[in-house]
Amino acid sequence: MTDKDTAPAPDVGRDFIRDIVEADLASGKHKSIVTRFPPEPNGYLHIGHAKSICLNFGVAEEFKGQCNLRFDDTNPAKEEQEFIDSIQADVRWLGFDWGKNLFYASDYFEQLYLWAEHLIQNGKAYVDDSTAAELSALRGTLTEPGKESPYRNRSAEENLDLFRRMRAGEFPNGARVLRAKIDMTSGNINLRDPVMYRILHEHHPRTGDKWCIYPNYDFAHGQSDSLEHVTHSVCTLEFEDHKPLYEWFLDNLPVPARPRQYEFARLNIGYTVLSKRFLTTLVKDNRVDGWDDPRMPTLAGLRRRGVPAAALRDFVRKVGVARANSTVDIQMYDHAVREHLNKSAPRRMGVLRPLKVVIENYPEGQVEELEAINNPDDPSAGTRKIPFGREIYVEQEDFMENPPKKFYRLSPGTEVRLRYAYLITCREAVKNAAGEVTELRCTYDPETRGGNAPDGRKVKATLHWVPAEQSLPAEIRVYNPLFTRPDPGANGDLFADINPESLEVLKDARVEPALADAEIGVAVQFERQGYFCADTDSNPGKLIFNRTIGLRDSYAKA
């Protein structure tokens, strides 16, 4: 499924990143700009990544520059082709295209290796035989300086020999690392002789078994930016403390270009966790149905749930780009989705928990076609025909035998309007042996076709319905927030905050015939119920619909 509105609207909102880019172009510092989106292919992208995607691609588009898609594929133990494919699909779904500018950090492995040798030869990198525990102990803390490794003063010749033997595969995983020689007393822990290379005997998705040493992110990232002549390396605030290291490598290597790093606040949303480690655990522990489970905050999950890409872009645009972290109220996201769907989604009728209604004075065997509006906000969407006959289904919750005051729906003796059809009056409730209502016996007024009484009498409720004979059976998956609190894990246990009612499956629903060919992933409005889309598991023999979002936010009020 692709979003019908694939072309992103120009992101003309002002922010400090755009101000910097505009000033750099105006001053002649750069003749054109190059940004990049550099995901690690070790999982699926989530809604937080959408902010970075829209910013990097949006800025490049607005200032007629270039945005590269570069995979930071430096850890083959966690990377898979599935993730590479999903990331490309997600970026395209959001409405962006990198053109010919698709790159991988692995494209630069040979150059990165040569630069590592350059640092060794200049006495600015060394091979360390310390164990992982020893390295951690030597690193120090935020209040205590680190301590120099006993291997820190090896000669350049010895370090070069060991590093080449590391590449040749002579040593097992974890036996040695290559570290930059900077300052073990620095107040910035990232500058305390950071690891540049580690030994990892793993098959790489692109380079196979050619390499058994892999560069760490901090070493690979800035140099990859330089090789691609990136002008503005835009990243989230957690990399702010890494910036001095980013610049140290550029200062000490013969790189072809000098990119500049800028940090912005990441996207945080209430009732949502965007930790890739936690999301991976949810998938591996089968707590969700894969990375594209509609309860997941992944872009694949949102797409499967029927969230339009245009709504997500609009949400990100409204959140804006700031320097300080904050948490966005989930209702802001919900509003962006509803606002878009209210304008674009076709209207249909679906009954989630059916209760049969027999209209006793309607002619047996007669079926008539009633005209229904596809979208009241879009006259060009036209109309459709819905069959109507003696037997229909309404929602169970639309009937009460002994209703309280202000219950205006069906009850014995009350009259209601059927959407697009007639006024009907409930005469009798039929019950089973357990005393449960299984069927309603009603009558209709044949003079009220279209829902209006010629004598001007008023009714206080309009119900949706589907024809009993022509409606289609469907499974409805009702999704609620994955967490029960707006700040999941605040008490120290994320799993304890998982919502046990995040999914409700209704197997006996009925939907109108027009939904037989519902497009996968494209939301429609079930009148009075919310927005739903056909799931990827749906087929003509078994219709399955996911709830995208309700018409109103009842969850936050619970």
> Hey, which residues does 30 pair with through a beta bridge?
none
d(C-alpha 413, C-alpha 533), whole Å: 36
Asked whether the beta carbons of 370 and 382 are under 8 A apart, the reply is no
Backbone φ and ψ for 428, nearest 5 degrees, come out as: -160, 145
46: three-class secondary structure by DSSP: strand
The tokens describing 313, both together, are 């872009």
Percent of the chain with pLDDT over 70: 97
CATH class for the domain made up of 1-269+307-323: alpha beta
Place 553 in a pLDDT band, splitting at 50, 70 and 90.
low
Percent of the chain with pLDDT over 90: 94
β-sheet with 462-463: strand ranges across: 462-463, 415-418, 423-431, 437-444, 354-359, 391-395, 466-467
**For the residues 404-430, what does the mean pLDDT come to?**
96
Instruction: Report whether pLDDT(5) > 60.
Output: no
Of 192, 276, 384, 390, which is the active-site residue? 276
Place 354 in a pLDDT band, splitting at 50, 70 and 90.
very high
> Hey, which residues does 213 pair with through a beta bridge?
199
Strands 350-351 and 177-180: unpaired
**For the residues 429-434, what does the mean pLDDT come to?**
96
Residue with tokens 């295209």: 97
Query: Which letter, b or e, does each residue of 181-201 get, where b requires 16 or more Cβ atoms within 10 Å of its Cβ?
Result: bbebebeeebbbbbbbbbbbe
Instruction: Report whether pLDDT(2) > 70.
Output: no
Place 1 in a pLDDT band, splitting at 50, 70 and 90.
very low
Instruction: Report whether pLDDT(261) > 50.
Output: yes
Which range has the top average pLDDT, 194-203, 321-330, 544-553?
Answer: 194-203
417: annotated active-site residue: no
266: annotated active-site residue: yes
Query: What pLDDT sits at residue 555?
Result: 41
Q: Which helix (H) or strand (E) holds 328?
A: strand 327-328
Place 8 in a pLDDT band, splitting at 50, 70 and 90.
very low
Of 22, 40, 247, 439, which is the active-site residue? 40
Asked whether the beta carbons of 172 and 131 are under 8 A apart, the reply is no
Instruction: Report whether pLDDT(39) > 70.
Output: yes
Q: Say if domain 349-470 classifies as CATH 2.40.240.10.
A: yes
276: annotated active-site residue: yes
Sign of the alpha-carbon dihedral angle for 219, 220, 222, 226: positive
Mean pLDDT score across all residues of the chain: 95
**For the residues 305-312, what does the mean pLDDT come to?**
98
pLDDT, one tens digit per residue, over 84-133 is 999 999 999 999 999 999 999 999 999 999 999 999 999 999 999 999 99
Of 152, 258, 266, 485, which is the active-site residue? 266
Instruction: Report whether pLDDT(315) > 80.
Output: yes
Domain ranges of the chain: 1-269+307-323, 349-470
What is the DSSP annotation of 174-223? TS-EEEE-S-TT-SSGGGSS-EEEEE----BTTTBTS-SEEE-HHHHHHH
Instruction: Report whether pLDDT(3) > 80.
Output: no
pLDDT, one tens digit per residue, over 520-536 is 999 999 999 999 999 99
**For the residues 166-175, what does the mean pLDDT come to?**
98
Q: How far is CA 370 from the centre of its chain?
A: 39
Sign of the alpha-carbon dihedral angle for 523, 524, 527, 532: negative
pLDDT, one tens digit per residue, over 468-486 is 999 999 999 999 999 999 9
Residue 542 DSSP class = B
What is the DSSP annotation of 438-453? EEEEEEE-GGGTTS--
